[in-house]
Structure 1
Amino acid sequence: MAATVKFLQDLQSEITCSICRGYFCEPVTIGCGHSFCQACLSSSWRVGAPVFSCPECRRVSHSREIPLVNMRLVELTELGKELSSKILQSTEGQSQYVTHKKFCKLLCDEDQTALCVTCWETPDHGAHKISPVQEAAHKYRRELEHIGTCLGKHLEYDEQLLAQVKRPAVDWYWLIRAEFYQLCRLLMEEENRCLDRIRQEQKASQDRLSQHMQSLQDLMQELQKVGHQANMDMLQHARQLLGRSESILAQRAKAVTPELKEYPIPGLIEMLNRFRVDLTLDPTSADSCVSVLWDLKSAKAEEDWQVETEDTSCHPVLARQAFRSGSQYWEVDVAQLPQWVLGIYTPYLRRKRTRNMDICDFAFLLRCVKKEGDYYLQTYPGPLDHRMKGPLPRVGVYLEYSSGTLAFYNVLQSSLIYKFHSIPFTAPVTPIFSPGPPLLGTNPGPMTLCPVDSHLCACCYSSQ
């Protein structure tokens, strides 16, 4: 029996990988003659290593490719596994201990090694718990059977779950698809209502202007008619005509100057929030007219910003971030400012250069101006010059680099203010901010970049 065990030991050394210390798995043999598992050798020969050497003898290999699987060694490994299993199943194979040539009847629970009486008496296992082999085998066999039962139950449960996934009781695919279809239908209905409202308001505006023009024409004809009357007859109608003229001329500004309409789009701001970016201001881009606060999120007009009549100066502050691709969205709190400028700056625009060009001449801007108690929104460049009902608390800015799109939104009303299309971007785009110009005799608050996780609704604004 000793010879059989010796043969088994020699065989196991031939079919054991010196790296993982286990039986070969897809063994390969390199030039020096040593063999290893294919995966073990691949891990040992890391990519980028200066030389590839044998993990056992350190002989340098001239080939950097992993050899093919050694099929003869695969067969020898399988044969060795089968032979070892048969020998260990025999009574003598289980009980023979090679070191002292005695039968093993004990098991060290801590080291999980079989022991003979001589080994038990050595100091290496003196403090360890020792159990008879048959008792330990019975114990572990029961534990293995218990684990097998548990694994079987888990496997059965997983099979049931897999069947439910393949044929779910609730078809979420069609349910969610139906919800999106319904949402599209509701949005289309809302779109039709909004477009109808725009058409009605346009018609009402046209009718109002037509009536105003007719009133002017009637008044002019009446003035001409009265002007040819005798003095006494003319004096009897003069006071009345002057009063009517003043009234009609006073209505002209409101009749001619368009008012910025609010057309809320459901879910608009929620969708734009998917592209929210966290911006900070660059204090080095500010001049003496504007100060950037310590948190790099707010800018405020300084006393050096001299207010003049019809002041159109910009004095901008740039963001630290610049964009050359993708879609971005950010929001700015302008509730404490009667006048402000927002937009983007890009240095390479095909515009006619003038002698006194500044940074704002290379920008696309939305400007808020206050005149005689009314607020006006203007774009540069662009045709927008509309009167508002009141100041805006927060403005959203959306940039899409690839299509050259820049849009401004009224966050509180979830409505579009204005959109630039097909801007020829050829360089990085930087957000631009200006908290002014300040009005004479006022001390406006700061312009603040809103945090990414902040949201504004009507109830929040009314409570501020």
Structure 2
Amino acid sequence: MAAAAAEMLQQLQSQITCSICWNYFCEPVTIRCGHSFCRACLPSSTATAFSCPECRQVSQVRELPVCINGSLVELTELGKRLSSQLVQSAGGQRRCATHHQALEFFCEDEQTLLCQSCCQTPEHGAHRLSPVQEAASNFRKKLQHIQSCLEKHFEEAEKLLANHRPLVNWGEMITEEYFKPYNRYLFKECPFERIEQEESRERDRLSQQRRSLQDLMLDLQEAECQPNLDLLRDVKQLLQRSESVLSQRAKALIPELRVCPVSGMIEMLNRFRVDIRMEPTSASPCLIVAEDLKSVRAGQGWQLDSQPADDPDLPIVLAEQAFSSGRQYWEVDVTQLPQWMLGIHTPYLKRESGGSKKHCPSVFFLRCVKKEENYFLQSYPGSLNHRLKSPIPRVGLYLEYQTGTLAFYNVLQSSLIYQLPDISFVAPVTPMFSPGPPLPGTKPGAMTLCPVDSHLCACCYSSL
């Protein structure tokens, strides 16, 4: 009788468990193909056709259902109560449903509890088997390690959510004096409402990820206090759920960079175009500056070890010119570089312990990093860490000294990439360039300053 009840409960649990997070349903929603998932496990919308995680059936509907399946909520609560009652009725001494013997072993390969007779069957004959006490001890250590990782990720999610701010404050931008002649382009070309919705969804994703991490941490804490048999019964689900939550974390914390083309933006910026050259004596030993002082490439001796962003020994070369007033704009061709760094370099005043003041170097930059087949844009300082759909061939930099503005543009797409938070300059500012680090096994390419009269459009890029 008990074996039959356990088997029926197992069937019920399969119907009330989300196949994404491997936990009991929480606010379940049912999509068009009939499969159900936790609402938090599904994206609120998709840019392309949506594929069901269960049956892979493709739906062209981009907005997924938000209505909770009330019947499934009730069924889930019933399953939870039945599971608790069954464990209590067994007095914690659970037995094998097939052989009615005590569960004394754990199969590491299938992560299931076994009795002595189960261990002797051909099905488990070649599997790795451990006594229940030993297996429970090992999994408690593993869960503690996962718990430690989750705590770090939770702190990171908390920090990202607290510091979350739009990449671009378009409302503030269009009120700036130098944008006023082009406001009609901004209002016509830039879909402000869509951008605000995407920013809101990004914040929701961060909030959802934080909740998922918090819920999982609480469940892991409870699991560690369970009796050995109960822990091993749930460990497979806990491990699968942990893997799912951590994979969702990567997607939530590294969003894709949005592109918002604005006609006339680059033409407007060209009003402030400056002709700059590189200063070869400022170049790091591992960099080679061309004779025309317009390009630089990586040479021998570039150390691939990571360095702090504010390290004064970063491999860079500075421009000849330094700016202490006005507005300047310049463009850099990075077509040949999978990784690069562009920005500005300026000394700032640092007060020493004895009261004296010392000029120390400081950098502000945007960099592109390639990891496997993906490209990422990161800023320093700032919180930018976004994936790219494709590499950016030419980057424009706009500097306004008085307001402490430093902005980066995708010239080909006529789109603002990122604007660093307001900077207070106290000394002249010098453009800074770094063509790398080069990827192992590849020939270093050149980073080139674009001529003042050069222009880039989609037809030009397609021929590069």
TM, length-normalised to structure 2: 0.52
Cα distance change on mapping 1:206 and 1:295 into 2, 3 Å = same
Tell me, yes or no, if structure 1 residue 243 matches structure 2 residue 214: no
- In the other structure, the counterpart of 1:188 is 187
- In the other structure, the counterpart of 1:378 is 378
**Could you tell me whether the CA contact under 8 Å between 1:311 and 1:437 is conserved in 2?**
no
Q: Match of 1:331, SS?
A: strand
Provide the rounded CA distance (Å) in 1 between the counterparts of 2:366 and 2:376: 10
Provide the rounded CA distance (Å) in 1 between the counterparts of 2:381 and 2:332: 21
Using the TM superposition, give the Cα deviation of residue 250 of structure 1 relative to its aligned residue in structure 2, in angstroms: 1.8
Length, aligned pairs only: 279
Q: Match of 2:399, SS?
A: strand
| Matching of residues 413-452 of structure 1 within 5 Å | 413-420=413-420, 423-452=423-452
TM, length-normalised to structure 1: 0.52
Provide the rounded CA distance (Å) in 1 between the counterparts of 2:449 and 2:301: 23
**Could you tell me whether the CA contact under 8 Å between 1:408 and 1:418 is conserved in 2?**
yes
- In the other structure, the counterpart of 1:411 is 411
Provide the rounded CA distance (Å) in 1 between the counterparts of 2:305 and 2:375: 18
Q: Match of 1:346, SS?
A: strand
Out of 201, 208, 221, which is 2:205 matched to? 208
Give the aligned CA root-mean-square deviation in angstroms. 3.5
Using the TM superposition, give the Cα deviation of residue 445 of structure 1 relative to its aligned residue in structure 2, in angstroms: 0.3
Q: Match of 2:349, SS?
A: coil
**CA-to-aligned-CA distance 1:418-454 (integer Å, 9 cap, x gap):** 3346644454432221112333333320111011222
- In the other structure, the counterpart of 2:349 is 350
Cα distance change on mapping 1:229 and 1:458 into 2, 3 Å = same
Cα distance change on mapping 1:350 and 1:373 into 2, 3 Å = farther
Cα distance change on mapping 1:319 and 1:360 into 2, 3 Å = farther
Tell me, yes or no, if structure 1 residue 198 matches structure 2 residue 175: no
Using the TM superposition, give the Cα deviation of residue 315 of structure 1 relative to its aligned residue in structure 2, in angstroms: 2.1
- In the other structure, the counterpart of 1:306 is 303
Deviates more, 1:388-397 or 1:415-424: 415-424
Out of 285, 289, 292, which is 1:292 matched to? 289
Provide the rounded CA distance (Å) in 1 between the counterparts of 2:419 and 2:463: 30
| Matching of residues 59-458 of structure 1 within 5 Å | 184-185=183-184, 187-191=186-190, 193-194=191-192, 196-216=193-213, 219=216, 235-309=232-306, 314-347=314-347, 349-351=348-350, 361-420=361-420, 423-458=423-458
**CA-to-aligned-CA distance 1:131-182 (integer Å, 9 cap, x gap):** xxxxxxxxxxxxxxxxxxxxxxxxxxxxxxxxxxxxxxxxxxxxxxxxx999
Using the TM superposition, give the Cα deviation of residue 275 of structure 1 relative to its aligned residue in structure 2, in angstroms: 1.8
**CA-to-aligned-CA distance 1:64-99 (integer Å, 9 cap, x gap):** xxxxxxxxxxxxxxxxxxxxxxxxxxxxxxxxxxxx
Using the TM superposition, give the Cα deviation of residue 396 of structure 1 relative to its aligned residue in structure 2, in angstroms: 0.4
Using the TM superposition, give the Cα deviation of residue 185 of structure 1 relative to its aligned residue in structure 2, in angstroms: 4.5
Q: Match of 2:277, SS?
A: coil
- Whichever of the two has the greater Rg, that structure is 1
**Could you tell me whether the CA contact under 8 Å between 2:286 and 2:298 is conserved in 1?**
yes
Percent same amino acid at aligned positions?
61
Q: Which runs of 5+ in 1 are unaligned?
A: 1-179
**Could you tell me whether the CA contact under 8 Å between 1:377 and 1:386 is conserved in 2?**
yes
Counterpart AA for 1:391: P
- In the other structure, the counterpart of 2:171 is none
**Could you tell me whether the CA contact under 8 Å between 2:397 and 2:407 is conserved in 1?**
yes
Q: Which runs of 5+ in 2 are unaligned?
A: 1-178
**Could you tell me whether the CA contact under 8 Å between 2:185 and 2:262 is conserved in 1?**
no
Cα distance change on mapping 1:221 and 1:401 into 2, 3 Å = closer
**More RCO (CA 8 Å, sep 6+):** 2
**Could you tell me whether the CA contact under 8 Å between 1:290 and 1:302 is conserved in 2?**
yes
- In the other structure, the counterpart of 2:46 is none
Cα distance change on mapping 1:410 and 1:228 into 2, 3 Å = same
**Could you tell me whether the CA contact under 8 Å between 1:338 and 1:444 is conserved in 2?**
no
Deviates more, 1:414-423 or 1:285-294: 414-423
| Matching of residues 2-81 of structure 1 within 5 Å | none
Provide the rounded CA distance (Å) in 2 between the counterparts of 1:181 and 1:384: 27
Provide the rounded CA distance (Å) in 1 between the counterparts of 2:181 and 2:281: 50
Provide the rounded CA distance (Å) in 2 between the counterparts of 1:302 and 1:254: 35
Cα distance change on mapping 1:263 and 1:350 into 2, 3 Å = farther
Provide the rounded CA distance (Å) in 1 between the counterparts of 2:346 and 2:212: 48
**CA-to-aligned-CA distance 1:344-387 (integer Å, 9 cap, x gap):** 2334x234679xxx999333322333345433333333343333
Cα distance change on mapping 1:416 and 1:352 into 2, 3 Å = farther
Provide the rounded CA distance (Å) in 2 between the counterparts of 1:306 and 1:216: 37
Counterpart AA for 1:350: L
**CA-to-aligned-CA distance 1:308-348 (integer Å, 9 cap, x gap):** 2467552221222333433221100112222222122334x
Cα distance change on mapping 1:418 and 1:182 into 2, 3 Å = closer
Provide the rounded CA distance (Å) in 2 between the counterparts of 1:281 and 1:206: 41
- In the other structure, the counterpart of 2:460 is 460
